[in-house]
Structure 1
Amino acid sequence: MRATTDGAGPTDAEAPGGSRRRIAERDDRTPVEPRDYRTAFASAPAALALLDREGLVVLANTAFAALIGGEPEALRARPAADLLDLSCDRRAWHAYHEVLHGRRSRFRCTRRLKHTDGSVLWAEVTVAPLAGRPGVVLSVTDVGERRELRARLRHLQMHDAVTLLPNRALFFERLTAALESSAYDHGSTGRIGLCYLDLDGFKAINDTLGHRVGDRLLAAVAGRLTECTGPDGHLVARLGGDEFAVLVEESTGTEQVTSVAATVLAALQRPFDLDGQRLSVSASIGVVERAVAGTSATGLMQAADTTLYWAKEDGKARWTLFDPERNAHRVTRQALASTLRPAVERGEFALEYQPLVGLADGVTRGVEALVRWNHPEFGTLTPNRFVGIAEEDGSIVQLGRWVLRTACRQARQWQRDHPGAPPLFVSVNVAVRQVWDSDLVADVAEILAETGLAPRLLQLELTESAVMGSAGRPLQALQALSDMGVQIAIDDFGTGYSNLAYLSRLPVSVLKLDGSFVRGFQDEAHPNPADETIVEAMVQLAHRLGLTVTAECVETSGQAARLRRIGCDTGQGWLYSRAVPPDRIGELISAPLSA
C-alpha cells in the first residue's frame, strides 16, 4: 500500500483531472487580452485584412501591406476590390459581394497583382465571413512559385521531348480555341487552314540508321518548319511519329494555306547535315482550308488525314488540297465496301446482256454478261463502281461465282426458249483473284454440269495485263479451262503489255480490241490511216494465230463498215444495243442487227 502525507488525498498530479484544473487556474490568472489577438494578427506571416460589409479595409496586417505596397494604416477605409482588382471579372465581383452580404460562405480566386514598386505577382485571394460578428476576413497568398512550377510541368506535358514543339494535346487545345474564338469574333476572317504532313521514307531511315539518328532528323525537321512558318505566327506541332501540323489561324483563303504548304515542301527538300551525315527527306502534305462555321476539330483533322493519304497515293513529295467531290467518292466507296458482301446474299445484283454481233452478217453470236448492283441507297451501279472494291476485299469470288452461275443458267434458258436458232455463247468477266482465291476450274465444271450448258458456249474474259502476267496456278487454270472446251478471251487488248510472243503460248481463243482503237475511227470524213493500219495489223496477226477478234465500243455504221473491211469478226457497242435485261435478248436471237 502506498503511503500518503498527513492523511491527505492524492496530489494534483495524481488526481484525475488535477493537471487540467491547475492549468485552468493558471489560465484564469493570465487571460489573453484583445491586444494579444491584435498583436498576433499584425505579426502573422500570412497577408490578412478585416473588411466591413461594404468591402472597406478595417484593419490590415504588415504582411498584407507589404504585399500590396504601403503601410497598414494607409490601407484603412480603402475598398479591397480596388486593391486586389476584383472588379475586372464579373463572376468574381458577384461572388465577392455574395460573401460580403452573408449569402455565400467562401470565395476564392487568383489575381495578378501589381506592386507599387512595379513588380508583379500572382496571388490567391480568399474571402470568408467572420464568425459571430459582421464583416469578413480576407487573406492573400503569393502563389507565384506554385504557378511557375505548374507552368513548367504543363510545358513539359504539352511539348514534345524530341523536337520541343507543341505536342498533339496542345495542338488540339489551340485548334479548339481557334475555332471557338473565330466563331464569336466579328473582326475575324472566319476561316482556318491546316497543313498536315508526313515524312516520306522516314521509317527506312529509322530502320537502317537507328532511332537516335531518326530523332535528330525529326528535331532538324522541326527547326526547318519553325524557321519557314514561325515568322508568320503559325502554330507548328508534332502530332506523333513523323507527323507534323501547321495551323493557319485567321486564314485569308486557300491561296495562303497552299503557299505555306509549298514553302514547307521546299524547305524540307533541302538535304539535312547531321554531324557530317547528309540525309535527304521529302514530305507529303494534306492541305485543308475552310470556313470555321460548321467545322469541328475532329472534322478538320479527318479531312486533313484523308488529303494526306491522297498526297501519298498521288506519288508523295507533294501537297494536295482537300477536294469535297473526291472525298464524297471516297465516303461512297467505303459505304459500298461495307455492304458489298451482304448485298450478294440479299440478292441485290442483277445481270444485263450486251450482244456480240457478227460484222459480216449482223447476226447475234453471243452476249456479254454485265453485272449491275441495285443498291437501296445509290440506285443502279455499273461494274466500274464496285468491282474494284470487290477485288480488294475478296468478295469478288462470291460475286463472280454468282455471276457465272446466273449467266450460264440464262444462256441455257435461251436455248430452251429458241430451239430452232443457233445457241448464243455467253461471255463472263473473270478477275485474277478468282483464279488465286478459289478453284475456278472446279467452279466452272460444277456450274456447267448443273445448268447443262455446253463448255463451248461459255467464254471467260480476263484483262490483257492479267493474262499476260499469268504464271503458275493462273496459267494452269486457263489451260485446264481451255482443255475443257471453254473459250478464253483477252479483254481490252492493246492497252497493256501487248507481248505478242507470250500471246502465242497462252490458251486464248479471242482478242477483244480496246475501245480506244475503235474510237479513233469516229472521224469518217477524215479517217486516220495510222489507226486503221494498227487495227488491221492486229486483226491479221490474231487470225494467223488462230484467234477471232471482237471490236468494242462500235457506235456508228461507219466504224462497223471499216472494221468489217479490215476483217474484224464481231462487234460490240451501242450501234447494236446497250446492255439490256435477259428478256430483250430473246428478241434479238432470230433477227439480224443491221449495221
Structure 2
Amino acid sequence: MAHEEPQRPPARPFGGRDGAACSLPLLLAAPAGTLAGILVLTLLCLAVFAFFMIRDLLRARAAILRERELRRSAEEELRAYVDLLPIGVVTIDASGRMALANRRAPALLGLSLEKMMALDWTRPALSIIDGDGDGLEDDELPWNRALSCGRKITGIVLGVEREDSGEWAWISVSAQPRSDVAGAVAEVICTLEDVTQQKTTEAELTLHHLRDSLTSLPNRALFMERLSRAILRSDRRKFFSAVLFLDLDRFKVVNDSLSHEAGDKLLVQVANRLRGCLRPEDTVARLGGDEFAVLFEDILSVNDGINVADRIAQGFVQPFTLNGQEVFTTCSMGIAISTGSDTIPAELLRDAEVAMYRAKAKGEGSIEIFDPSMNAQALARFHMDADLRRALERNEFVLHYQPVVGLRTGRIEGFEALVRWRHPERGMVPPLEFIPLAEETGLIVPLGKWVLEEACRQAGEWRRKFPTGQPRLMNVNISARQFQHRDLIHTVLGALHAADLEPGSLKLEITESIMMRDPEASLEAMKVFRSMDIHLVVDDFGTGYSSLGYLKRFPVDTLKIDKSFVEGIGRDPESSAIVAAVISLARSLGMRVTAEGIETQEQMQHLQRLHCDQGQGYHFSRPLPPEAAEALLAQDPRWPGSSFSQ
C-alpha cells in the first residue's frame, strides 16, 4: 500500500469569505506574479472609477452649459419680446439703479438709455407731477412705494416732462416688487403705459367742470380741492401752504372803454403772465370776473409769500397789448398762510380775500398780509355792503346842499349836492364810510345816477321858485366808476330832461386823478359834455398829478382848490404860494377858481386879494338839508366882508 501524503487544506482566497484578511507578511510572501496582478486589478478599478467620475463631470458640465445656453436664449427671447411690447418695462433695484429697460421706456420718458441707467430713481431729478397736476414727494413715486411696502402698486398716473421735447406726457405706472432668497425686496419691475391721449380726452370732458372756459385755468372747485390736499400735507412736510388772492385794478375801465371782448383778452394775457411768474407745482386759478387765486406750497415763512407777490407785481410792470393798444394795469393782492392741517380751506381763501380788500383800500397795486383782526372789519364791511344795497330801495339816501358863494358879490351862485345816508339804526352815516365801499362794489353807479336825478330835480324846482338874472348852478360830483361808465352821458341827459333843466345849469365835478387815469378817453368824454353846454370842474386840484399839457387841452371851466391848501393860506407860505399859483394858472387858461374849505374871515379876505372867484366852506354855511337850503335861498343873503362891501 502506498504511503499516502496527508492532504493540505485548500487555499483560501485573499480576503476570504471568513473575513480573515491576508496579513502583510503573507502578501509579501506571495509570488511576484500574483502581486502584479493585484496591482493591475487595483489600477484598473481606479481607472474605471475615474472614467465614470470624469464622464459624470463632463455630463454635468454639458448640462450646465446647455442650461446656460437655454437660459441665455430664453433671456434673449424674453428681451426681444419685451422690446416688442407697446408699453415701457424697466427694473429698478433696491439701491435705485435701473437694471433693465426695454426700447419703449426711453421714448416714453424722453430720456436716453444712458441717462436712465445713470439716474438714482429713488430721487430722480425729473419734473414729475401726479394725475391732478400737483407735485410729488420722492416717497410717493410708485416704484419707491413698492420697494418700501413690498406690495404691488398699480395704475398710478404720473405727468412727466420729456427732456428731449419739453412736452408733458401722462404715463400710467404699475410696480411689482421681487424678493431674493432671503425674502427681502431686491428689485421692482415697472410697466409704463402712455395714457396722454386718454388724459387729454378726460381733460376735455372735465374742462367745463374743473377749468375756466376762458383762460383754461383751474376754477374755484378744482382750486379748493387742491388747497384741501395741500393743507393735509403741510404737517407731514413741516412746511406751510399759502393762498394769494388777486384782483385786477381798474379792470372795469377796460370793459367800459374798450369793450368786454378786450376785457376777455386781458384776462387771458393776465392768466398767461401769472403762469410765467410761478413754479410748475404752484396752482393759479380764476375764481370769476377779474379775481384770481394762487396756491403755493412748501413755504417757510410769510416772507416767502411776499416774495411771490412781489414777483407777480413785477410781472405786471410791462403793458398788455389789446387790439394794438398798450394797456397798463396793476393788481391788489392779499395773502393768508395756513397754520396746519386743521386749517379750513374755505376760511383760508376767505382770509386772503379779506386781506386783498384791505390792500385795495390802501391803493392800487398794494399787498396786504391777513391779520385776524381783519375778520371783525370784514364782517362789519359785509353788513355795511348789505345795508348799502338795500338803502337805495328804501330811499334812505338824501342830498344836502352847500352854497357856493361868489367872493366878489358875497351872494350864492350855486350849490354843491352832497349825498348823505340816513341809516335806520346808525343814524346819519358819514360819506367817508360808505362812498369808498359803494365805489368798490360798483353801487356808486346806481347811487350816482340817483344823485344826478335828484340834484337836477331840486335845481329845476329852485330855479322856478327863485328866478334870477344869473342862474344858480348845481355842482354834482362824478365818481371814477361813473366817469368810466359808458351810459354816463345818457344818464346826465335823462336827468336834465326829467327835471326840465337847462344843461348850462349843471356843473360836473371830476377829480384830476380820475381824468389822468386815461387822459385821451377823458378828453373825448369832456368834449361831449362841453358841446352840450354842461360845465366841468376839476375837483381837489393840486392833490393829483395833472399834466399841464393835458390841462390846457381839457375843456374845463373851473379849477377847485383843495381845502388842504386853503387851510394854510395866510400862515403857511407854501400853501399860500400854491393857491396863488393855481389862481394865476387858471386865469391864464381862461378858467374860474373855486376855493373849498373856507372857515375864517381871514382866509376869505386873503383869497379875495388873490382874485379868487368863488368859495365854499363852513364860514358861509355847512351842507344843508333841502328845506334849510331853500330857506337860505329865500333870504338871498350877502355875507359881510365880501369885496362888494369894501
What's the TM-score, normalizing by structure 2? 0.48
CA contact (8 A) 1:464 1:492 kept: yes
Shift of 1:341: 4.6
Question: What is the CA–CA distance in structure 1 between the aligned matches of 2:492 and 2:366, rounded to whole Å?
Answer: 47
Structure 1 residues 241 and 572: CA distance shift in structure 2, 3 A: closer
Out of 565, 588, 594, which is 1:517 matched to? Answer: 565
Q: Where does residue 242 of structure 1 map in the other structure?
A: 295
CA contact (8 A) 1:359 1:564 kept: yes
Q: Where does residue 551 of structure 1 map in the other structure?
A: 595
Structure 1 residues 582 and 269: CA distance shift in structure 2, 3 A: closer
Q: Where does residue 570 of structure 1 map in the other structure?
A: 614
Shift of 1:347: 1.7
SS at match of 2:491: helix
Shift of 1:353: 0.6
Correspondences of 1:341-490 after superposition (within 5 Å): 341-419=389-467, 423-469=471-517, 474-490=522-538
Structure 1 residues 266 and 569: CA distance shift in structure 2, 3 A: closer
Structure 1 residues 421 and 583: CA distance shift in structure 2, 3 A: farther
Question: What is the CA–CA distance in structure 2 between the aligned matches of 1:463 and 1:340, rounded to whole Å?
Answer: 24
Q: Where does residue 560 of structure 1 map in the other structure?
A: 604
SS at match of 2:603: helix
Question: What is the CA–CA distance in structure 1 between the aligned matches of 2:495 and 2:368, rounded to whole Å?
Answer: 51
**How many pairs were matched up?**
374
Say yes or no: does 1:301 pair with 2:348: yes
Question: What is the CA–CA distance in structure 1 between the aligned matches of 2:152 and 2:428, rounded to whole Å?
Answer: 61
SS at match of 2:474: strand
SS at match of 1:242: strand
Shift of 1:424: 2.3
- C-alpha deviations, 1:235-273, integer Å up to 9, x for none? xxxxx96334889xxxxxxxxxxxx54588689999xxx
Shift of 1:551: 0.8
Say yes or no: does 1:541 pair with 2:585: yes
Shift of 1:472: 5.8
CA contact (8 A) 1:354 1:578 kept: yes
CA contact (8 A) 1:360 1:569 kept: yes
Q: Where does residue 369 of structure 2 map in the other structure?
A: 320
Shift of 1:528: 2.5
Structure 1 residues 477 and 593: CA distance shift in structure 2, 3 A: same
Question: What is the CA–CA distance in structure 2 between the aligned matches of 1:404 and 1:199, rounded to whole Å?
Answer: 35
Shift of 1:409: 1.5
Structure 1 residues 380 and 205: CA distance shift in structure 2, 3 A: same
Question: What is the CA–CA distance in structure 2 between the aligned matches of 1:369 and 1:459, rounded to whole Å?
Answer: 10
Letter of the 1:537 partner, please give it: A
Q: Where does residue 508 of structure 1 map in the other structure?
A: 556
CA contact (8 A) 2:242 2:305 kept: no
SS at match of 2:621: coil
Question: What is the CA–CA distance in structure 2 between the aligned matches of 1:261 and 1:202, rounded to whole Å?
Answer: 24
Letter of the 1:518 partner, please give it: V
SS at match of 1:444: helix
Question: What is the CA–CA distance in structure 2 between the aligned matches of 1:198 and 1:450, rounded to whole Å?
Answer: 47
Q: Where does residue 181 of structure 2 map in the other structure?
A: none
CA contact (8 A) 1:287 1:319 kept: no
Rg larger for? 2
- C-alpha deviations, 1:487-515, integer Å up to 9, x for none? 11111111222222222222211111112
Letter of the 2:446 partner, please give it: Q
Shift of 1:366: 0.9
- C-alpha deviations, 1:76-111, integer Å up to 9, x for none? xxxxxxxxxxxxxxxxxxxxxxxxxxxxxxxxxxxx
Q: Where does residue 496 of structure 1 map in the other structure?
A: 544
Unaligned runs of 5+ residues in structure 2 are: 1-147, 162-225, 247-268, 284-292, 312-332, 642-646
Correspondences of 1:569-588 after superposition (within 5 Å): 569-588=613-632
Shift of 1:518: 1.1
Shift of 1:584: 1.1
Shift of 1:565: 1.5
Shift of 1:169: 5.1
SS at match of 2:510: strand
Shift of 1:336: 3.9
Letter of the 1:488 partner, please give it: L
Unaligned runs of 5+ residues in structure 1 are: 1-147, 177-193, 220-239, 248-259, 271-283
Shift of 1:557: 2.0
Shift of 1:195: 7.9
Shift of 1:427: 0.4
- C-alpha deviations, 1:362-418, integer Å up to 9, x for none? 212111001122234544334333334444444433322221121111122223333
Shift of 1:433: 3.5
Shift of 1:356: 0.9
CA contact (8 A) 1:303 1:322 kept: no
Correspondences of 1:56-95 after superposition (within 5 Å): none
Structure 1 residues 573 and 319: CA distance shift in structure 2, 3 A: closer
Aligned identity (percent) is 34
